Structure 1
Amino acid sequence: MARHYSEAEVVAILDGLDPDRLRSFVSAHVVTPVVTPQGAAYTETDLARLQLLCDLSDFYDLPSDSLGMVMSLIDQLNTARGDMRALIQAVATEPDEVRGRIQKSVRRLRIVTVDRK
């Protein structure tokens, strides 16, 4: 079962995070706590996301609306990476003949894409 952290625990764990900043990230919808009988709670994934938000905000002085856009792009990239891993695993289970045809198609499509630039 996933561990959940209270607001106070999250603020104590993460450098650069205070209750006001946490609330601003929540109100900007860049992190969404889960609701438990004890109140709002955060997962390990939320902690990593919050640390990244603090770092981006501190190092690049990004406002909340920009943080939302950056996090959306990061989420899309992570989804694409997961899809690519799954595709690679699926292709790896195919016979050599099929893998060879896929490899040739990928090379051909990449050449077409490069030529269009």
Structure 2
Amino acid sequence: MARHYSETEVVAILEGLDPARLRFFVKSHVVTPLVTPHGHAFTETDVARLQLLCDLSEFYDLPEDALCMVMSLIDQLNTARGDMRALIQALASEPAEVRGRIMAHVHGIRTIRGD
């Protein structure tokens, strides 16, 4: 069973995170904890995202609104990477002739664009 952390536990675990900042990140939907009768329950993924937010804030002195934008960009990049992996797997299941035509087409597009 997955471990869940309370707001109090998350604030205690992560240096640089206080209750007000945690509430801001929840309100901004940077993390989406489970809502329970006892309050929010944070997953390991939530804690990792919050750690990254604290690290970015500390090392790059980013304000909270910029942190939200950076996390959105990271999420978009991760989604694109997942889509690319799925596309590569789908392409790998196609016959060599189809793969060759697609790769030639991709190469032609990249040449035209100068990639």
Q: Deviations over 1:33-71 (max 9, x none)?
A: 210232111111111110110011111111111111111
What is the alpha-carbon distance in structure 1 between the residues aligned to residue 77 and residue 13 of structure 2?
Answer: 27
Runs of 4+ in 1 over 6 A off after TM superposition: none
> Residue type of the partner of 2:49?
R
Structure-2-length-normalised TM-score? 0.88
Superposition CA RMSD, Å: 1.7
Residue 81 (structure 2) aligns with: 81
Is the partner of 2:114 in helix, strand or coil? Answer: helix
Deviates more, 1:105-114 or 1:8-17: 8-17
> Residue type of the partner of 2:55?
D
Structure-1-length-normalised TM-score? 0.87
1:28·1:64 contact (CA, 8 Å) conserved in 2?
Answer: no
Residue 18 (structure 1) aligns with: 18
Deviates more, 1:19-28 or 1:35-44: 19-28
What is the alpha-carbon distance in structure 2 between the residues aligned to residue 2 and residue 105 of structure 1?
Answer: 45
Q: Deviations over 1:67-90 (max 9, x none)?
A: 111111111111000000000011
Give the Å deviation of 1:30: 2.0
Unaligned runs of 5+ in 2: none
Are 2:108 and 1:111 aligned?
A: no
Unaligned runs of 5+ in 1: none
Residue 44 (structure 1) aligns with: 44
Residue 94 (structure 2) aligns with: 94
Is the partner of 1:35 in helix, strand or coil? Answer: strand
Identity percentage over the alignment? 76
Is the partner of 2:5 in helix, strand or coil? Answer: coil
> Residue type of the partner of 1:4?
H
1:33·1:40 contact (CA, 8 Å) conserved in 2?
Answer: yes
